[in-house]
Amino acid sequence: MNHTLTVIIPVYNEQDNLERVQKEMQAYIEIALVPTQVLFVNDGSKDNSQQMIEKICCSNTDFHYILLDKNYGLSAALKAGFDTIRTSLTGYMDADLQTTPQDFNVLLKHIENNDLVTGERTSRKDSFIKNTSSKIANGIRRAFTHDGMDDTGCPLKIIKTEYAQRIPMFRGLHRFLPAMVLLQNGHIKQVPVSHFERIAGRGNFGVWNRLIGPLVDCFAYLWMKKKYINYKIRKQG
């Protein structure tokens, strides 16, 4: 099958979630608006995630994986996925299943006229501290980037692959994907999506890297924005 969309699912010690991820992605592939496949990016997990991933991929041709040699962090995992994908559209979803792959169809309805479509978790099922720190972090990023996104950290996105592969990734840049598409003169849009409680595994981000990390990364983004090279080829012979 010629696929149109590849969904990147970064994995770091998510063995308790992977069976559910397989079932939910298989169910979504059956109803997806475009032919869809899955790419697990194992970011150096120390549990049994890799064994489970290989078992899943061996039993289903729509599932693939890459295994990084050690833990590099979410931005590196996304970059590795971007560099590997050959489909015209790239999706992104976390393995914790706090968002549902069913909502990729909601995003797909808007991707034709946009270059990135991201979810907005309008009714988040997180703790008060997590919700508050995320709101503050989103406000800080919005003030620096002027991207107009209310929930840029939502882990449910679809990007046109040509834009994703031109993003010069650095650590922490996963928080700035909409802003980096804007630097390419692309069009972005956010749409409401569902959100659920995490029922298995542990989150990898705390208050520190939801607040202090994004603030530091904002200055890195401003430096990149100033230095960013954007061009279009007018004619080629």
* Per-domain residue ranges of the chain: 5-227
Residue-wise pLDDT for 152-198, tens only, equals 778 899 999 999 999 887 777 778 899 889 989 999 999 999 877 66
Contacts 24+ apart (CB under 8 A), 215-223: 215/137, 215/140, 216/172, 217/172, 217/173, 217/175, 217/176, 218/140, 218/141, 218/144, 218/145, 220/170, 220/172, 221/144, 221/145, 221/173, 221/176, 221/179, 222/144
At residue 118, what are phi and psi to the nearest 5 degrees? Answer: -120, 150
Please choose, from the candidates 195, 189, 198, the residue with its C-alpha nearest in 3D space to the C-alpha of residue 158.
189
C-alpha 21 chain-centroid distance: 15
Residue 103 contacts residue 160 (beta carbons within 8 Å): no
| pTM: predicted TM-score of the whole model, two decimal places | 0.83
Q: Which CATH number fits domain 5-227: 3.30.1360.120, 3.90.550.10, 3.40.50.360, 1.25.40.10?
A: 3.90.550.10
Q: Around Cβ 150, how many Cβ atoms within 10 Å?
A: 15
- Residue 201 reports pLDDT greater than 60: no
Residue-wise pLDDT for 87-132, tens only, equals 999 999 999 898 999 999 999 999 999 999 999 877 765 555 566 6
- Residue 47 reports pLDDT greater than 90: yes
Residue 97 contacts residue 14 (beta carbons within 8 Å): no
